[in-house]
Amino acid sequence: MTEAHRHFHDDLSQVKIRLLTMSGEAEAALGLAVDALLERNSAKAQAVITGDRVIDQMEVELEEMGINLLALQQPMARDLRMLTSALKIANDLERVGDHAVNIAQSASRLAGLRGIAPEPEIVEMARLARDMLSDAVEAFIRGDAQAGREVCRRDDKVDILHRSVFRILLTHMMEDPHMIGAGMELFLVSRNLERVADLATNIGEDVVFLVEGKSIKHHAEDVGDAAWPAGAPKR
């Protein structure tokens, strides 16, 4: 390995470290936003909204690091895929932070409404989405394509829960029109959690592309029919 190549890999390691830190911030923001929702805690909701600037700044810094490496080192093959994937993942994590803010804003509005308690399905969606995000970033750091595929498989479960939440909330709102405001806010929370799971799936797909040089985007059946849960719908 040449000195320049060694230096490039040292810089790439720093990108990975920064990406892990950013992932931790995004996961923490999502967890705090859900806590704010469950506890009707406006202070926690505001902390998520204010703290989003930190995640935004991390994305800017990672983008600058990546652009500098692309310009100065001109990486090829797997190194190029690694760097471009890292930049895409940083953007996905920034969007996770935005969804956490959306949930926090809904939590703030719900604190002042006569409400419907968050459904257990929403709590489960939050747990699944956070786990998917954590596992997807870890799969990227390890370069584990199988773990990336496993994250993609779990997305359908979140989609099923999202549809279930819609049906439950619709029933509540039809039975009591006074619940429409709270019901719509909870639906928005569910929608944002579903989008977080989609972003985790994007990262899982990027891991497969990184390791195997093969895109599985928009082709969920390619992740392996044998491991697909029985009876689960395929996109």
- Residues 147-203: pLDDT tens digits? 999 999 999 999 999 999 999 999 999 999 999 999 999 999 999 999 999 999 999
Tell which residue, 97, 79, 107, 85, has the closest CA to residue 186.
107
**pLDDT at residue 119 in the model:** 85
Sign of CA dihedral 209, 213, 219, 221: negative
- pLDDT bucket at 233, cuts 50 / 70 / 90: very low
**pLDDT at residue 211 in the model:** 92
The tokens for 87 are: 């930049």
**pLDDT at residue 111 in the model:** 87
- For residues 20 and 86, the answer to whether their CB atoms sit within 8 Å is no
Q: Per-residue pLDDT for 118 more than 70? A: yes
Helical H runs in the chain? 3-39, 42-73, 77-111, 120-142, 145-175, 180-212
Task: Report, as an integer, the average pLDDT of 105-119.
Answer: 85
CA distances from 188 to 30, 40, 104, 109 (A): 14, 16, 11, 12
At residue 176, the 3 state secondary structure works out as coil
- pLDDT bucket at 77, cuts 50 / 70 / 90: confident
The CATH code of the domain at 3-227 is 1.20.58.220
**The overall pTM is greater than 0.75:** yes
**pLDDT at residue 4 in the model:** 60
